[in-house]
Amino acid sequence: MAKFRFRLEAALRLAERSLEEQQRLLAQEIQKLSSLQKACQDQEKVWQFALQGQEEACRTSPQDLSLWQIFSQKQIELLRQIEKEVSQQEWVVAQQRQRLLEAHQDAEKLKKLKEKQRVVFNLKEQRREQAVLDEAGQIIFGRRNSL
């Protein structure tokens, strides 16, 4: 019996490697996003602390108020910068997800094509074997009748 060979096997392997690579890249981008979100949360806590210090300085030590205001302003600027980075990283993650989806679709197309070709090959092989068996049966029947 003949063995099935998928002519696009190399393309399928490349598509599967690409899929794995896109999955790895997505994991890295999600990890970056997670760390930026954590940094954003930490920076927001620092900014909240600065606001509390500013409020406390208003009540107890007005001479320190300008220092707290400067500190608070720096912290909000840092927070806005980190929020901007988070937003950019979210966009990068979305783009990477799209690339992963495309790689997955490419690999699935080739897998389905391979399976369809395998089914067609098996059907052809079964028909060929059935034709050989039918011919052998006819030859045996012919020999028995001629005796």
Amino acid 1: pLDDT? 65
Tens of pLDDT, residue by residue over 40-79, are 999 999 999 999 999 999 999 889 999 999 999 999 999 9
- Residue 115 in domain: no
Q: Which two tokens stand for residue 130?
A: 């059935």
Q: Would you state the pLDDT for residue 44? A: 97
Domain count, the chain: 1
For all residues of the chain together, what is the average pLDDT? 94
Q: Establish how many alpha carbons lie within 13 A of residue 31's alpha carbon, considering only the half-sphere containing its beta carbon.
A: 6
Contact by Cβ (8 Å): 19, 34: no
CA quadruple 26, 32, 36, 37: dihedral positive or negative?
positive
Look at residue 138 and tell me if it is in a domain: no
Q: Looking at the domain assignment, is residue 80 inside a domain? A: yes
Q: Is residue 71 part of a domain?
A: yes
135 domain-assigned: no
Q: For 102-143, how does the pLDDT look when each residue is reduced to its tens digit (9 = 90+)? A: 999 999 999 999 999 999 999 999 999 999 998 888 888 888
Does a structural domain hold residue 32?
Answer: yes
Domain containing 34 equals 8-109
pTM to 2 decimals? 0.76
Count of C-beta atoms within a 10 Å radius of residue 30: 15
CA neighbor of 71 nearest in space, from 89, 52, 84, 88: 52
How many C-alpha atoms does 110 have within 13 Å on its Cβ side?
A: 19
Cα gap 86→65, rounded to integer Å? 31
Q: Residue 72, exposed/middle/buried by CB under 10 A (0-12, 13-18, 19+)?
A: buried
Q: Determine the pLDDT at residue 147.
A: 64
First to last CA, the chain: 33
User: Does 25 reside within a domain?
Assistant: yes
At residue 6, does pLDDT exceed 70?
yes
pLDDT at res. 141: 83
Please classify residue 6 by burial: count the beta carbons closer than 10 Å to its beta carbon, then call 0-12 exposed, 13-18 middle and 19+ buried. middle
